[in-house]
Amino acid sequence: MMRFLRRSYAAIIFGFLYLPIFVLIIFSFNSSKSRAVWEGFTLRWYGELFESSSILGALNNTLTVAVISAICATIIGTLAAFAIHKDMRPIEKKIVMNLTYLPVLNPDIVTGISLMLLFIFVKMNLGIGTLLLAHTIFNVPYVILTVLPKLRQFDNSLYEAALDLGASPSYAFRRIVFPEILPGIITGMLFAFTLSIDDFVISFFTTGSGVNNLSILIYSMARRGIHPTINALSTIMFLTVLVLLLLVNRRVAEGKKKK
């Protein structure tokens, strides 16, 4: 009896969590515009999706911003992690780490607004440039938080041993330190890429008129009402993020196993 209750409860919760997603995906293949009646299979909405220039433009912006901001954030975040790990006195470290955590803890809407104010204040034109900068800025802390643990794990005597054996500091860094922390850097980059694709709130405030990414487009379309092409777009985005995050998770799990 207890077992039956437990199973039904779990089934209800999972039903609650997945029903909306499944309905969304199923009805993206429905040939009628109706969201309640199934009238046959179609790929029409996917076709419309790939013919719409506004959607393709937004997709292009999303991917461009995600790739460039992930790369920039990875470089900046990795260097910052080195600086935090190597160069700081404990008190400095504490202040810097708290400031690094601040954007992670702050509500997105506050981060978005504060960056918008900054960009307008220094008279930057809001557009793809500010979008890119904003994404880089909010990605940096996440890269730091994935690279820093790797640096802490690294056994510095290996580096010293390489120096003792006659390696130059840069050679020792390239051959000993870098390969050891590379998994952390790649995880951080994938993480940054995913966060960038997923972001809506910060993008919404830091982009200019006419420059959309997918999230902003979905928001403005959804505000006007419901259309099956959004279902198709949602399905594609859901699957993309799912695959990416499975990759990240696998890397993290493998890293843990190695440890």
Partner 1 sequence: MERRWLFYPYQLWMLMFTVVPLALIFFFAFADTSTYTFTLDNIRRAAEPVYLRVLWRSVWLAAVSTLVCFLIGYPMAMILVTSRVKYRNMMVVLTIIPMWMNFLLRTYAWMTLLEKNGLFNAVVKLLGAGPVQFLYTDGAVLLGMVYNFLPFMILPIYSVLMKMDKSLVEAAQDLGADAFTTFRRVTFPLSLPGVYAGMLMVFMPAVTTFVISRLLGGGQFMLIGNVIEQQFLAIGNWGFGSALSVLMMVLIMISMMFLSRYNKTGGGMYL
**Site for partner 1 contains 43 (CB under 8 A):** no
Report, in Å, the least distance between residue 69 CB and partner 1: 13
Least distance CB 6 / partner 1 (angstroms): 5
CA dist 73 → 51, 57, 127, 138, 142 (Å) = 33, 23, 19, 8, 9
Closer by beta carbon to partner 1, 41 or else 121: 121
Distance CA 58, CA 233 (A): 11
How far apart, in Å, are the Cα atoms of 188 and each of 56, 81, 140, 250? Answer: 27, 12, 9, 13
**Of 77, 67, 86, the residue nearest 177 (C-alpha):** 86
Which residue in the block uniquely carries the two structure tokens 């992690």? 81
Q: How far is CA 217 from CA 37, 210, 222, 234, in A?
A: 26, 10, 8, 11
Subset of residues 96 to 115 that bind partner 1, contact rule: CB under 8 A: 96, 99-100, 102-103, 105-111, 113-115
Q: Does 91 bind partner 1 (CB under 8 A)?
A: no
| Nearest-approach distance from CB 226 to partner 1, in angstroms | 5
Task: Say how many residues make up the chain.
Answer: 259
Tokens of 43: 């790929």
Closest separation in Å from C-beta 72 to partner 1 = 11
d(CA 73, CA 105) in angstroms, rounded, equals 18
Q: Which C-beta is closer to partner 1: that of 43 or that of 226? A: 226
Residue 17 binds partner 1, judged by CB under 8 A: yes
Residue placing its CB nearer to partner 1 in the complex, 71 or 245? 245
For the segment 183-242, give every residue that binds partner 1 (CB under 8 A).
191, 198, 200-201, 205, 215, 218-219, 222-223, 226, 230-231, 234, 237-238, 241-242
Interaction mask 121-160, partner 1, x per CB under 8 A: x---------------x--x----x---------------
21 touches partner 1 by CB under 8 A: yes
- The amino acid at 1: M
Is 245 a binding residue for partner 1 by CB under 8 A? The answer is yes
| Closer by beta carbon to partner 1, 76 or else 128 | 76
Is the CB of residue 143 less than 8 Å from the CB of residue 78? yes
List all residues 6 or more positions away from 238 whose beta carbon is below 8 Å from its beta carbon.
21, 25
Number of residues in contact with partner 1 under rule CB under 8 A: 73
